[in-house]
Structure 1
Amino acid sequence: MTDVTRRLPEGGAIDRSRPLAFTFNGVTLTGYEGDTLASALLANGVDVVGRSFKYGRPRGIVGYGAEEPNAIVQVGEGSARTPNLRATRVELEDGMVATSAARGPGTAMGALARAFGRLLPAGFYYKTFIRPQGLWGFWEERLREAAGFGDVPDGADPDIYERRYGHADVLVVGAGPAGLAAALSASRAGARVFFADENSAFGGTLRWSSVATDSESAGEWCRHALAELADNPDVHLLNRATAFGLYDHNFVGILERCVGNAETPGKAPRQRLHQVRAKQVVLACGAIERPIVFAGNDLPGVMTASAVSGYTIHHAVAPGERLVLFTNNDSAYDTALTWHRIGREVTVVDVRPTADGAGPDAARAAGIDIRVGHVVQEAHGRRRVNGVQIAPVGGGKIERLDCDLVASSGGWNPLVHLSAQTGVRPQWSEVALAFLPGSPRDGVHHAGAINGHTSTSACMREGARVGNEAARLAGFDGPRDEPDLPDGDDGPCAPPEALFLVPHPRPSRESRQFVDMQLDVTVADIDLAAREGYRSVEHAKRYTALGFGTDQGKLGNVNGVAILARALGQGIDETGTTMFRPPYTPVTFGAVAGRDVGEFFDPARRTPMHEWHETHGAVWEDVGRWKRPRYYARGADERMDEAVRRECLAARGGVAMLDASTLGKIDVQGPDAAVFLDRVYSNGFRRLAVGRCRYGLMLREDGTILDDGVTVRVADNRYLLHTTTGNAEAVLSWLELWRQTEWPELNVHLTSVTDHWATAAVVGPKSRTVLRRVCTDIDLSPDAFRFMDYRAGHVAGVPARVYRISFSGELSFEVNVAAQHGPRVWEALIAAGDDFDITPYGTETMHVLRAEMGFIIVGQDTDGSMIPDDMGLAGLVRHGKPWGFLGDRSLSLPEHQRPDRPQLVGLTPLNPATVLPEGAQLVKEPRPKLPAKMQGHVTSSYLSAAMGHSFALAMVKGGRERIGETLYSPQADGSVIPAKVVPSVFLEPVVDANEGESQGAPQPLALAPLPAATAPAMLNLCGDGTHEFRRAASEALCLTLPGRPCTTARDTSIAIHWLAPDEWLIVAPPGEEAEIERRLREATSAPGAAITDVTGAYILLRLSGPQAREALASATPYDLHPRNFPPGRCVQTTLAKTQALIAAPNEDTFEVIVRRSYAHYAEAWLTDASS
């Protein structure tokens, strides 16, 4: 760092009234609002910003944008530290703490590199360290120690990130002359435009261009055009936003940098990821200046010409005093004139024999020294350049020019990265001396400098034309108000001369001619790769590591290709270039995650009684996405085994209660409901009586068990099917697959009602007595209410369905009420059982109780290969049904008939206190010969409070024939647990229980009146979609069913949302569900209608206000723009990590209908997004 300031006394787009203090490598420095970290470092005289990767050579700032290879920094401290940022892209903030990330190789490797640099050519580690082979591990650790930049934060990222979905008719990438003209033209055609640029200000070179209209300069035109775009509600302006990936179907990833944006003060997101789907994409990405390779070109103080101009014009920073400008084209003369205007010395070294364009003429007129037909052979200096060696092109007198700044311009590299990501290979142009994008795929357009144009006015004309064409292809053919573009000739421009490398008269200097400055790839390395047979540019790249750094070769790759072509004696077009993959620049993982962190990372489903469980000591277990109480701890000191023992004894000896709301529940309606169930279950349901329940097995086509559960026949053509908690969605999808694709002739409808029903299982000898206190309109006596019966009535004043089913083997009643009444009924049952010390129990106790009875859990005791007979459930297979059932024929396969198949048995360890680990393997002998043959494995294992000893369920080969045999379970610690094979049923079920019940009718519990309903009534309506059905339903509802997809019919009190051609969701005033169901059933009495009350299944959220659409754009990929989603539309779509139905009752309001179990998640997510 020098002790002089390089800040110019005036000019620049900085606010000198707002100084900003920051530290770099521990030194406190000062910049201004509007500075980047790079410009502030240059202004403070910081020459060395890091060291190179391989040789540890000092490195200074070279570029102005994303192409910068040297100024790699990490910003922030502690967990907020962000590594591998380009100082050229970091906007300065007050109090910023930055350090160099590129500090060169580690201690050991750094010393080696500096001492023996000449012995470390490309690929040296392949040749040097591979033998002796035993030492490779040592060298690998040293090489990995030397690799990488910066330090990864070791704590959680404290920053906030957002992800937002966007939709555009035309997406314009790049806000330079071509991009601005394209966006303006497309917007005037009526298209929705997304306009993104990675810089903090729009306009690019227009902000200082000399072209103009008749009435205003280019800068004024740029400001007016941006004001017009900003005033257009259908134009989305995104500055500081890098389009990093162009994917299939014009899906574009854009990363917006938010911190440092004056429009987002306070605790704003650090970054926002925009996922944009565009009908048409205009790539006006521009071009970056290519340096010329010469000896010593890596010294601090050697920059590109455009970078010198950028820092001088935008930040009022002169990176030196005396400039030598080395060029092969006219564009560099703008830099020379800029340098001359600030009163500094400049000498232009132009490789061309003559320099006759407008730029050189203006330079001569200004008195600037121009050396035509010369080249810079070498830059001199140690920690900063102090002079250059120049010579005539054809040889001659070598001359030294003293200077402290060298700028080179070897032409312009169009930014073809996004175009190449679509699979279009760039093509070399001898006219432009650059790789230009190939023919674009449909829906993608190129405009401006990306096509090789160097004239500002030509770029704008092409941008306007392409913007118009993109809007036309997006469907906007109306009259257009063509923009009045700045015009005028940029002046005559002489063609550039191809120059990528200046050969040095001393070949040994090739090792000081750097192509990739970050990774120390030199001309000598590329020549070596060519000599060693790496003729493919892809192979040479990997062998030399050219372009492998954080800049991905943006500055050096084209020079590298040209040097490789020279070494191979072929043209650049023959050599070709590497392809580009996303991302264009690095993307923070936090931005990809967005809000999906913390409580939003994996949304948990909650039962209606969740809050009660939480306040009564529940210790949670994740079951799928559900939060279920595993056990209830009484006091902070009660262990799980103690709590489970207490809960088990209550269930076996008194009364206990389980929240079983998470079980999957599917409402099956239709004339063919019985036939359908007979086909998907192995046992029969056609003859099941109304009001009865039946346990059934569902098999896959190969005969293995898919799921199990109890099905209730609610009415002649209506069943309620229960599934396991984790299989609910899979089973519904499985059933819909068969209903829709294999048996479309069946008149049957399926509706998920898992969220609608809150279920409380009252278990134990005292359960009948407890239930009688809150249920007075159902005869609960054993004769009137038998095992596997179903009755409808009221519990705690709430309409309820009560089932006499048991997963514990004890007397048990499952009480089902609409979810909105779940907490009331649960608390009423707890109060009714208070005299008997009613005990809530969790999943761990549930597992113990069911295992004591030998009841299986699909997915725990089965593993996807088990058939019914393996589990002792052959009695649930009914062959000979008129239609068969899924898996019927497969049960006859020889594989399923083997006598040694694993079968479910019980195990009792010989030591009654020893609990076998679940998953433990079983063998015949305590110390078998290895490899030992496995006899089976443990599937469930517990300590039984009722039996007073441990027990287990296991799958054992031929297990039912081995009752009484002792098997052994070797453990990881070397011990062996012996266990006796016993039947899988350990306790006999209690079919009925009267013992200990009080005589006479129990005193009813005093209950508060049922409060008035506040949530809207909701019903799911399914039908055959015929005119007669639609007419009848419309008359019953006094509102016509919507027939167009994704539309809503609405009046002042009711809304009907279209879900499918034969399905609708009715939303009505609170408390009207029963009346509407009655009217619909009367009106649609013909077979085929299915009406299901789902009031308890869903929650309706309303978002209103000007930001409602923006909040939803963070959560759903669906296009909610008024053009696509006007009032009267509805859609079923993704909402963050769940699903929802979104409707638009009016322009400023959205209704979001989500499953009740996800309501807390959706509400919290949208609240967070809105804030």
Structure 2
Amino acid sequence: MSARRATGGGLIDRSQPIRFTFDGKTYTGYAGDTLASALLANGVTLVGRSFKYHRPRGIFTAGIDEPNALVTVLKDGVREPNIPATGIEIYDGLTAESQNRFPSLEFDLAAVNQLAGPLFSAGFYYKTFMGPVIGPLKGTRFWMFCEHFIRRAAGLGRAGYEKDPVRYEKMNAFCDVLVVGAGPAGLMAATEAAKAGKRVILAEQDPRLGGSANWSGEEIGGKKATEWAEVKAAELTALDNVQILTRTTVWGYYDGNNLAAIERVTDHLPAAPIGVPRHRHWSIRAGTVVLATGALERPLVFPGNDRPGVMLAGAAERYAREFGVLPGEKIAVFTNNDSAYRAAAALKEAGAAIVAIIDVRPEISPAARALAEQAGIAPLTGHAVTDTVGKRLTKVMVQHFDAATGRLSGDPRPIEADCLVVSGGWSPAIHLASQAGGAPVWDGKLQAFLPPEPNQKWVGAGAFTGALTTAEALSTGRDAGLKATGKKASRVKLPEVAAPALDPFPAAVFEIKAKGKAFVDLQHDVTADDVRLAHREGFVSVEHLKRYTTLGMATDQGKTSNVPGLAIMADARGLPIEKVGTTRFRPPFSPISIGSLAAERHWRFKPDRLTPMHDWHVKRRARMMEAGLWHRPMIYGEPGETVEQAYAREAAAVRRSVGICDVSTLGKIAVKGPDAAGFLDHVYTNVFSTLPVGKARYGLMLREDGIAFDDGTTWRLGEHEFLMTTTTANAGKVMQHLEYYLDVVWPQLKVHVTSVTDQWAGAAVAGPNARKVLQACVTGTAVDNETLPHMGIVHGEIAGAPVMICRLSFSGELAYEVYCGAGHGRHVWEALMAAGEPFGITPYGLEALGALRIEKGHVTGAEIDGRTTARDLYLDWMLSKKKPFIGSALMDREGQIDWSRLRLVGVISLDGRPLGGGAHIVEKADGNGLGTSIGHVTASCYSPALQKYIGLALVRGGKARHGTRAFLSDPLRKRFGQVEIVSHHFFDPEGKRLHG
């Protein structure tokens, strides 16, 4: 190991060496190391290149606030970029690489950008690319010329294209008290809440509890802080009403005390155990939240403050105490507050040489002076660092400094150092409180923004509230825990803390104005001059400053740069910082994986909704899939069949003889009352008040803006009683739609609506022999053509169970929907199957149902997608001219009757290959299969009736394009080919089969 690893100390396990790779070179660390600490221990100080100027950058922090050391991790063939090395726990086989450099980290050609520094000042992209190109490309916008090159150069890490093989998971949780942060304050709050019998969730982003107590070197209650934290953690773990989530970052605070968190379940393991997700996304609803998120150290702004070897003082202390790593051998300290003196003493104790302590203040506290003596050096008070030297730090330049005026005097003198640790004070991590609502409050003593007054049920504790000492953290944590349980503050004696009485108030100095580039935001290469340029150009609002300069954007969210940037703007405006204000912090607090947001929902998140026939389907080899809120059969696969082969067989059986499909999941709403018929006339585009009792009618609903909302059939069961059916996925939305209009728009109507979806089981029997099946098992009514015409309704029995039968079809075949009470569902289904055996009845799933409907050109949610109108879908025959209805006032707006709108057509594959939903349709394709889109495929299948791959599509011009050819362009799936545009009625367009 390098000499940078201290000979002892730290919480790492030196008996467990771990090998890992960075930029192709193999290194060794220990269990408990982060990638950052292990690289430092191996003498690696250059870890990345900056965003704009490609300046060399080193490790700057030790935690989630790291702006420089963003790396790409390669695992299982997947590239994941932009991960802070400070948050990666090393494991055997870890492979990481640096980013934003070419051809190598040591020699980056793009570093030439530094020579064009003025061209890349704040807002350069707004000003540089607006004008026209001169010369051969005259008339072309400069942006159009440069865009290709800029997009190739932009960004930091490069994402991969490989499919992520790991699982992600979502969870819901409910608790009385959620404690965010498990430092001393959080542990005390969780303990008090748990003792009161409350259900407590304690979330901590680090692998172990204790927070800064793990590396503070303090004693709490006569024990080392790490031991005290371990005891508290063991006490909480033993309680049944406490759930501890380590490696869990709470990243968002939303209305109703709903907080979002991500748990990194297996990132620290070489491979995830079978069935265990990589990340688990938590949605936590809490009665009360205790925010004990601590504070983040700020840098000082001075020329050369971004050089590898410069890091925060608190980070250097943590590396020494927690990881047994010396960030340098000759270390200089630069500060405006007392906390850096504790870091100096810790580094000296770990074996480093402290070559200077430079303090901008003319006087320091006795406790700080005592720590300086421990570090073995007298502090240079009233001095400042004005520059740094070396590709990797070799020396710092120091000059006399007047903190009252901000002026430098005398000649700068060099001090040799390979590491400079800096501290500009501490900013409470108020991000979550800001997300919850309210404006942060400036504290002049701490020179920091404190959390706003709560407008949701949260209480603060520890450094989050500005209580920066461990003794204060314990006290505020206890009080917060009691307040969260509704109790008054206790006088129970707190454990004593052995720590020097350091002055927590920093000098109001954030910037040293000297010649050279002084960086405010290291992640985005924002300099102090950029902030002043924004001021000169009128971008003085903090929100405008953020967007014009990119200060505090992306993964950083202003963790280290926010207050220094605001201070420089305040100085430029001649205002105090509190008058300038601060930006609104937005979720996420730190980057989260897209996989966790799109994760499968854990079984505890919601109940499984199963139809009464579910077990029958499973026993018949049905492959189930989620549809809306339900589990439905996708196919009934025979051994060796593919999905396509199975649904083609099932659909062909329906066309040939007879099939049966479970339609219990369709939305079913009972509409009753004297005004029910008139209400339906308002809701539907067509007329329902004229519908005879015992008949059904197909209906279409629009939104108020004239866009199609849902379709389905409604059955008139009595003079004032209707049964409305909706699509499976839209059942809840339609119910809300109806209730809204009855409660708000037409409260005078005497109508009652009730969701009865779960009360009815349903089976669709379809095919040329469908009537014969019913005749074989239905009693109490005839089902011949006269008794049960198309859209007619009859009541009878099947195997002794009462049933209601409506003759309607979604497949285009002679078909019936048989409804019975949910308790009789399987009994009736099995009776129908038995009656259909002589005719070879075949159960069919959603895939076959989809193929049948595509062949007939029936629309579903894929076409009624929130953008289409009735005319787009050629359903304008359903728009009544005799009555107003929801959407009728706006459906004829110019934009909604324009000829160029996307309209429904059919497409046939001309190369014999499948069509993909979402694929673009282009008139002309270039050599790569790309072109100008004229529409897209909404649904596709293999048609057993046509023996071709077909699809429905929304295409500009609609019917006018029938008989023409176009191209399918699907670059994501690398599918290109020619198609023919035809009518969406592929099969039996006259509807002869429908009538048997």
TM-score, length basis structure 2: 0.75
1:527 aligns with 2:537: no
Matches within 5 A, 1:121-200: 121-133=121-133, 134=140, 135-200=142-207
Question: What amino acid maps onto 1:828 in structure 2?
Answer: A
1:490 aligns with 2:494: no
The equivalent of 1:35 in structure 2 is 33
Q: Distance in 2 between matches of 1:189 and 1:263?
A: 40
The equivalent of 2:336 in structure 1 is 328
Deviations 1:582-631 (A, max 9, x none): 11111211112221599x99999889499879989999999998968899
Cα 1:45–1:802 shift into 2, 3 Å: same
Using the TM superposition, give the Cα deviation of residue 75 of structure 1 relative to its aligned residue in structure 2, in angstroms: 1.0
Among 574, 594, 598, which residue is 2:599 paired with? 594
Using the TM superposition, give the Cα deviation of residue 309 of structure 1 relative to its aligned residue in structure 2, in angstroms: 0.8
The equivalent of 2:324 in structure 1 is 316
Q: Distance in 2 between matches of 1:638 and 1:229?
A: 54
1:820 aligns with 2:834: no
Cα 1:141–1:748 shift into 2, 3 Å: closer
1:207 aligns with 2:205: no
Using the TM superposition, give the Cα deviation of residue 352 of structure 1 relative to its aligned residue in structure 2, in angstroms: 2.5
In the alignment, is the contact (CA less than 8 A) between 1:565 and 1:572 conserved in 2?
yes
In the alignment, is the contact (CA less than 8 A) between 1:255 and 1:274 conserved in 2?
yes
Q: Distance in 2 between matches of 1:858 and 1:130?
A: 40
Among 537, 551, 572, which residue is 1:546 paired with? 551
Cα 1:458–1:573 shift into 2, 3 Å: same
1:566 aligns with 2:571: yes
Among 292, 306, 314, which residue is 1:298 paired with? 306
Secondary structure, in 3 states, of the residue corresponding to 1:76? strand
Q: Distance in 2 between matches of 1:278 and 1:977?
A: 55
Secondary structure, in 3 states, of the residue corresponding to 1:587? coil
Cα 1:638–1:165 shift into 2, 3 Å: closer
Matches within 5 A, 1:751-790: 752-753=756-757, 756-761=760-765, 763-764=767-768, 771=774, 773-774=776-777, 788=792, 790=794
Secondary structure, in 3 states, of the residue corresponding to 1:553? coil
Larger Rg: 1
Using the TM superposition, give the Cα deviation of residue 643 of structure 1 relative to its aligned residue in structure 2, in angstroms: 8.4
Deviations 1:277-334 (A, max 9, x none): 2232222222122222222222211111111111111111112211111222221111
Among 469, 484, 503, which residue is 2:513 paired with? 503
Cα 1:865–1:359 shift into 2, 3 Å: same
Using the TM superposition, give the Cα deviation of residue 20 of structure 1 relative to its aligned residue in structure 2, in angstroms: 1.0
1:421 aligns with 2:425: no
In the alignment, is the contact (CA less than 8 A) between 1:607 and 1:758 conserved in 2?
no
In the alignment, is the contact (CA less than 8 A) between 1:705 and 1:867 conserved in 2?
no
In the alignment, is the contact (CA less than 8 A) between 1:848 and 1:944 conserved in 2?
no
Among 348, 363, 368, which residue is 2:372 paired with? 363
Question: What amino acid maps onto 1:551 in structure 2?
Answer: D
In the alignment, is the contact (CA less than 8 A) between 2:336 and 2:425 conserved in 1?
yes
In the alignment, is the contact (CA less than 8 A) between 2:648 and 2:944 conserved in 1?
no
Secondary structure, in 3 states, of the residue corresponding to 1:237? strand
Question: What amino acid maps onto 1:121 in structure 2?
Answer: S
Question: What amino acid maps onto 2:45 in structure 1?
Answer: D
In the alignment, is the contact (CA less than 8 A) between 1:967 and 1:978 conserved in 2?
no
Deviations 1:684-739 (A, max 9, x none): 69984xxx5565768889999986647375x9998766667777656655666677
Deviations 1:464-502 (A, max 9, x none): 223322321xxx57x969363324673263853333222
Question: What amino acid maps onto 2:394 in structure 1?
Answer: N
Which of 608-617 and 385-394 deviates more? 608-617
Among 31, 44, 51, which residue is 1:53 paired with? 51
Matches within 5 A, 1:383-782: 384-393=392-401, 395-396=409-410, 398-472=412-486, 482=492, 484-487=494-497, 490-491=500-501, 493=503, 496-504=506-514, 507=515, 510-511=516-517, 513-596=518-601, 608=613, 650=656, 655-657=657-659, 659=661, 661=663, 664=666, 666=668, 676=676, 680=680, 682=687, 688=693, 693=695, 709=713, 711=715, 713=717, 750=754, 752-753=756-757, 756-761=760-765, 763-764=767-768, 771=774, 773-774=776-777
Using the TM superposition, give the Cα deviation of residue 156 of structure 1 relative to its aligned residue in structure 2, in angstroms: 2.2
Q: Distance in 2 between matches of 1:307 and 1:891?
A: 65
Among 249, 254, 277, which residue is 1:247 paired with? 254
Q: Distance in 2 between matches of 1:619 and 1:186?
A: 44
Secondary structure, in 3 states, of the residue corresponding to 2:410? coil
Using the TM superposition, give the Cα deviation of residue 276 of structure 1 relative to its aligned residue in structure 2, in angstroms: 1.8
Q: How many residues align?
A: 894
The equivalent of 2:389 in structure 1 is 380
The equivalent of 1:1095 in structure 2 is none
Q: Distance in 2 between matches of 1:330 and 1:892?
A: 70
Cα 1:695–1:674 shift into 2, 3 Å: farther
The equivalent of 1:830 in structure 2 is 836
In the alignment, is the contact (CA less than 8 A) between 2:676 and 2:721 conserved in 1?
no
Question: What amino acid maps onto 2:661 in structure 1?
Answer: D
In the alignment, is the contact (CA less than 8 A) between 1:644 and 1:845 conserved in 2?
no
In the alignment, is the contact (CA less than 8 A) between 2:675 and 2:751 conserved in 1?
no
Listed as ranges, the gaps of 5+ residues in structure 2 are: 134-139, 403-408, 682-686, 900-905, 907-941, 947-951, 953-958, 968-978
Question: What amino acid maps onto 1:124 in structure 2?
Answer: F
Secondary structure, in 3 states, of the residue corresponding to 1:226? helix
Q: Distance in 2 between matches of 1:889 and 1:582?
A: 38
Cα 1:645–1:529 shift into 2, 3 Å: closer
Which of 679-688 and 626-635 deviates more? 626-635
The equivalent of 2:241 in structure 1 is 234
In the alignment, is the contact (CA less than 8 A) between 1:660 and 1:761 conserved in 2?
no
1:354 aligns with 2:368: no
Secondary structure, in 3 states, of the residue corresponding to 1:116? helix
Using the TM superposition, give the Cα deviation of residue 889 of structure 1 relative to its aligned residue in structure 2, in angstroms: 13
Cα 1:191–1:264 shift into 2, 3 Å: farther
Which of 743-752 and 457-466 deviates more? 743-752
In the alignment, is the contact (CA less than 8 A) between 1:775 and 1:794 conserved in 2?
yes
Q: Distance in 2 between matches of 1:272 and 1:356?
A: 47
Cα 1:489–1:543 shift into 2, 3 Å: same
Deviations 1:12-52 (A, max 9, x none): 11111211111001111111110000000001111100111
Among all aligned residue pairs of Structure 1 and Structure 2, give the percentage whose two residues are the same amino acid: 33
Secondary structure, in 3 states, of the residue corresponding to 1:8? coil
In the alignment, is the contact (CA less than 8 A) between 1:56 and 1:104 conserved in 2?
no
1:257 aligns with 2:271: no
Secondary structure, in 3 states, of the residue corresponding to 2:259? strand
Using the TM superposition, give the Cα deviation of residue 890 of structure 1 relative to its aligned residue in structure 2, in angstroms: 12
Deviations 1:869-892 (A, max 9, x none): 974999xx9x9xxxxxx9699999
Q: Distance in 2 between matches of 1:637 and 1:457?
A: 65
In the alignment, is the contact (CA less than 8 A) between 2:182 and 2:202 conserved in 1?
yes
Deviations 1:193-247 (A, max 9, x none): 3222222222223335566566545444333322222222222222222222222
Q: Distance in 1 between matches of 2:224 and 2:890?
A: 85
Q: Distance in 2 between matches of 1:990 and 1:132?
A: 63
Cα 1:481–1:846 shift into 2, 3 Å: same
Q: Distance in 2 between matches of 1:620 and 1:120?
A: 52
The equivalent of 2:920 in structure 1 is none
Q: Distance in 2 between matches of 1:566 and 1:657?
A: 78
Q: Distance in 1 between matches of 2:35 and 2:875?
A: 72
Which of 606-615 and 174-183 deviates more? 606-615
In the alignment, is the contact (CA less than 8 A) between 1:74 and 1:81 conserved in 2?
yes
1:20 aligns with 2:21: no
